[in-house]
Structure 1
């Protein structure tokens, strides 16, 4: 298969997991290449996601690297091949690449957990609310850029309405609920939309009210995307310069899982949260 100069996040993650398996055995890329009967450059390109790799090759690598975790090898094998031609690919030239990668990541997720202090989660925003947010971006975006971002965001929301959607849990601080982007009418419609979405069986919305004690936060919003296995989870962080940062180191995943667990423990229950939003 020919190499690609722009591997997706999923392809890069596959390569990174293969690199971890190799490094645990103490093999260099040269040693791995000798075992697998390929050149060292081929191993390097596989580990950076620039060369598609077959499921059979993954299983061969698993044996060469003495990996006894058959479930992990099976999951990695399922991640092989060329990039999925999902709807997000049509936006690759119109929105930041990280947003395209995020949409693909969400598509393959087994569960989604998010925590936000000052904004409504993107997958729960109305189109009017999202447009108001995008118009407030600094520096201002051109109208066509706003529309590309908006349609991309609305299509991302399809994951919550597809057949067999992933469980979705959102922890939202009261501050985000009171922001009022777009004016009273848009803000009211947005709150009503949250109530409607919370009634879906796979959607859980929990509110942290002002005055809640001891909830852990740095003020940064983040998404926790669960993969087919715990070690394949990913954390996505928002940043003020508009890019997404993706974290997947084991220690980082453990930290953000604990942060989410503690934030949920500080939040209102689901019924109480729905009543709280209704009162607002």
Structure 2
């Protein structure tokens, strides 16, 4: 199979984790290739995510690299499967790659934890609220670009519905609840939607109220995406230039601590619902 010139984030991550296993074993790419009966270039292409790799081959790599972590090995094996396309792939020619990769990342997540200050989390936005946000993007988006982003965002929300929805925890600053994007009616409907979503057993919404002295954030949106095992967790940060993905051990520990602190500093889910309801009544 020829190498892929545009590996997805998930394919890149699998390759990265295989490289980490090799490096921990003390093997060079050349030495590993010799033990595995491959060429050094094939090892490089697999580790960069440019070559698809089977689940059995992942297990062979792990044995060769003396990895005894069975849970990690099976989690990596589950990340294989060739180049199967997901619904998000239809957007690769229409949206920035980071947004498409984020949808794929969310689809395979075991749990999602998000923390935002100015915005309502994307997976909890109504259609009208999301459309109002896309109209504020700079440089301005064309109408067809807005519609592509809008349908993509709504499809992402599918992981919170269905027979086996993803466990989801959102910590939202009170500022985001009072921004009023789209005007009074849109804002009121958005808050009502938050209240409805907060009643779902797998969704937890906590609000950081104004005046909370222990607020531990920078205003940057954080998505902490839990993988099948902790080693495969990923952090996604919202930036002015797009999505930024982090998976270093120290980075994961840092942002896990930040999200932990924000959650413990926020109101309880019940008190959060009361605050959301009061803000909605004030509109």
- TM range, smaller chain: over 0.9
Aligned-partner SS, 1:137: coil
Q: 1:220: Cα distance to partner?
A: 0.6
Q: 1:135: Cα distance to partner?
A: 0.3
Q: Does residue 5 of structure 1 match 2:5?
A: yes
Aligned-partner SS, 1:4: coil
Cα deviation code 1:112-132 (max 9, x no counterpart): 000000000000000000000
Cα deviation code 1:68-115 (max 9, x no counterpart): 111111111111122331111111111111111110100000000000
Q: 1:26: Cα distance to partner?
A: 1.2
Matched residues, number: 279
2:119 is matched with 119
Asked whether the equivalents of residues 11 and 83 of structure 1 are also in contact (C-alpha less than 8 Å), the reply is no
Asked whether the equivalents of residues 33 and 43 of structure 2 are also in contact (C-alpha less than 8 Å), the reply is yes
Q: 1:214: Cα distance to partner?
A: 1.4
Distance, in Å, in 1 between the alignment partners of 2:247 and 2:108 is 15
1:275 is matched with 274
Cα deviation code 1:43-75 (max 9, x no counterpart): 000000000001111111111101111111111
2:204 is matched with 204
Asked whether the equivalents of residues 54 and 82 of structure 2 are also in contact (C-alpha less than 8 Å), the reply is no
In structure 2, the gaps of 5 or more residues are none
2:194 is matched with 194
Tell me the TM-score normalized by structure 1: 0.98
1:17 is matched with 17
2:231 is matched with 231
1:265 is matched with 264
Q: Does residue 181 of structure 1 match 2:188?
A: no
Give me the CA root mean square deviation: 0.8
Distance, in Å, in 2 between the alignment partners of 1:59 and 1:86 is 24
Asked whether the equivalents of residues 170 and 205 of structure 1 are also in contact (C-alpha less than 8 Å), the reply is yes
1:83-232 equivalent positions in 2, closer than 5 A: 83-232=83-232
Aligned-partner SS, 1:115: strand
In structure 1, the gaps of 5 or more residues are none
Q: 1:2: Cα distance to partner?
A: 2.6
1:66 is matched with 66
Distance, in Å, in 2 between the alignment partners of 1:37 and 1:174 is 58
Q: 1:3: Cα distance to partner?
A: 1.5
Cα deviation code 1:156-212 (max 9, x no counterpart): 001101211111000000000000001111001000000000011100000000000
Distance, in Å, in 2 between the alignment partners of 1:216 and 1:146 is 33
Asked whether the equivalents of residues 91 and 100 of structure 1 are also in contact (C-alpha less than 8 Å), the reply is yes
Distance, in Å, in 1 between the alignment partners of 2:196 and 2:62 is 46
Aligned-partner SS, 2:170: strand
Asked whether the equivalents of residues 8 and 83 of structure 1 are also in contact (C-alpha less than 8 Å), the reply is no
Q: 1:259: Cα distance to partner?
A: 0.7
2:82 is matched with 82
Q: 1:12: Cα distance to partner?
A: 0.2
Distance, in Å, in 1 between the alignment partners of 2:217 and 2:2 is 44
